[in-house]
Amino acid sequence: MTAPIETTSASAEAQPEAVLAGAGRSQIEGRSLGQIAWTRFKRDKAAVAGGIVVVCLVLMAALAKPIQAVFDLDPNKFNQDLVDPALQAPKGPWGGMSWEHPLGVDPGFGRDLLARVIEGSWVSLLVAVGATLVSVLIGVILGVVAGYYGGWVDSVVSRLMDTFLAFPLLLFAISLSASVQDGFWGLTGLPLRIAVLIFVIGFFAWPYIGRIVRAQTMSLREREFVEASRSLGARGPFIIFRELMPNLVAPILVYATLLIPTNILFEAALSFLGVGIAPPQASWGGMLTDAADRYEADLQYMFVPGLAIFITVLAFNLLGDGLRDALDPRSK
C-alpha cells in the first residue's frame, strides 16, 4: 500500500554521544549495544507509547478466544431485538452503545462490535505478522545473496526489487487471491483465506526488506572483520551465516516492525474489496465493507473498525520508527 521510502542506513554501532552519556557518572560501567539502544528508546515517548499499544494489541489478539469466553462476547450472535427493523439501524444513540455492548452493535444483525473488533484483531495480526515473516525470509535470502555476491546476480535481484516496489501490488493481489478457490493446498474456508493472504502479501512485500538487507550486506562485506574471516579461509556460506547475519539482525527487526503496519493495511484493503477474509468471519476490512454498504442506516459504525485499523497501524509505525532511531541513530 504505502511505499515506505526510507533512506538506507548503516549498521547499529556504539555512538560516541551514548558512550559519553555514561561517562558523566563517577563509576564508569561498560554498556552493551542493547543497553545503549534501550536507553535511547526509552527517551522516545511516542515510540514507548506505540510499543505499549502494540503489546496490548498482541495480547488482545492472542487471548481473543479466552477474552470472548470470559466476558461472554460472541462475535457472531445476532441480536435482532437491538436493531430497528424499519431502518435496519441499531436502536439508541451512538450505534447502540450500552453497558452490554460498549462499542455498539452492527446494523442489520445487531452483532456485538467489541466482540467483532477483538475477533478481527487476531485475524489481522496473524496475517500481517505471517506475511512479514514470509517477506523477511525471501527478502533476507535474496538481499544477502545480491549484496554479497554482486555482479549479475545483484543486477537481476535489484531490477526485480525495483519492479516490485513501484508496481500496484494491491491490484495484483486482488486478482491473485480472487482466483484461489476452495481445495487449494488441501485447505478450505478461513484457514485457506488466511494462508492465501499470508503468502500473497508476503510475496509482494519482500523487496522492502530485500533492499535494506542488500545495502547493509554491501557495506558489511567491505569491513575488516569480513576480510579477516576471508583471509582465514572462510567461504561464502560461513561468512554469510556467521559474520554477516548477526550484524543484520537489528535492521531486519526494525524494518520487519515497519512492514507489519503496511501489511495490516494491505490485508484490510483486500478484505474490504471482498477478496480477503470472507464473512461471516469478522475482519476489520470486512466490517468497513459492511459500514460502507450501510452508511445511510448507521454512519457511526465505520469508526469502530476504522479506528481499530488506524490505531494499530499508527502504533506499529511509532514503535518501528522508535526502534530504528534507537538501533541506528544515523538513519534519522
Partner 1 sequence: MLRLVIRRLLQLIPTLLGLSVLLFLWLNRLPGGPASAILGERATEADVARINRALGLDQPVYVQYWRFLKRIAELDLGTSTQTGQPVWDEFTLRFPATVELSIAAMIIAVVVGVPLGYLAARKRGGWLDVASVSGSLVGICIPVFFLAMILRGIFSVELGIFPSYGRLSTGIDATSVTGLATLDGILTGEFDATWDAIMHLILPAITLASIPLAVIVRMTRASVLEVVGEDYIRTAVSKGLEQKVVRGRHILRNALLPVITAIGLLTGSLLSGAVLTESVFTFGGIGSFIRTAIDARDYPVLVGFIMFIAMIYVLINLLVDLAYSLIDPRVRVH
The residues of the shown chain that bind partner 1, judged by CB under 8 A, are 1-3, 5, 7, 159-160, 163, 165-172, 174-176, 178-181, 184, 261, 265, 268-269, 272-275, 285, 288, 291-292, 295-296, 299, 302, 306, 309-310, 313-314, 317
Nearer to partner 1, 175 or 188 (CB): 175
How far is the C-alpha of 115 from the C-alpha of 146, rounded, in Å? 46
Q: What share of the chain is helix, strand, coil (3-state, %, to 5)?
A: 70, 0, 25
Q: How far is the CB of 318 from partner 1 (least distance, A)?
A: 8
Which residue number, 243 or 298, has a Cβ lying nearer to partner 1?
298
For residues 317 and 32, give the distance between their C-alpha atoms in angstroms, rounded to a whole number: 26
Closest separation between CB of residue 275 and partner 1, Å? 6
Report, in Å, the least distance between residue 50 CB and partner 1.
Answer: 11
From the list 332, 325, 158, 206, the residue with the least C-alpha distance to 254 is 325
Q: How far apart are CA 330 and CA 321, in angstroms?
A: 13
**Do the Cβ atoms of 144 and 118 come closer than 8 Å?**
no
Distance CA 78, CA 107 (A): 11
Identify whether the C-beta of residue 213 lies closer than 8 Å to the C-beta of residue 158.
no
Least separation, in Å, of the C-beta of 221 and partner 1?
25
| Cβ-based nearer residue to partner 1, 36 or 265 | 265
Q: Contact at 8 Å (CB) between 107 and 301?
A: yes
Shortest distance in whole angstroms from residue 145 CB to partner 1: 18
Give min distance, CB of 174 to partner 1, in A.
Answer: 7
Residue 170: name the closest of 160, 178, 159, 161 by CA: 178
Nearer to partner 1, 22 or 306 (CB): 306
Q: Which is nearer to partner 1, 62 or 176 (CB)?
A: 176
The rounded distance, in Å, linking the Cα atoms of 101 and 111 is: 9
Choose between 112 and 290: whose C-beta lies nearer to partner 1. 290
CB of 292 to partner 1, least distance (A): 6
Is residue 257 within 8 A of residue 321, CB to CB? The reply is: no
Please identify, using beta-carbon distances, which residue of 33 and 49 lies nearer to partner 1.
49
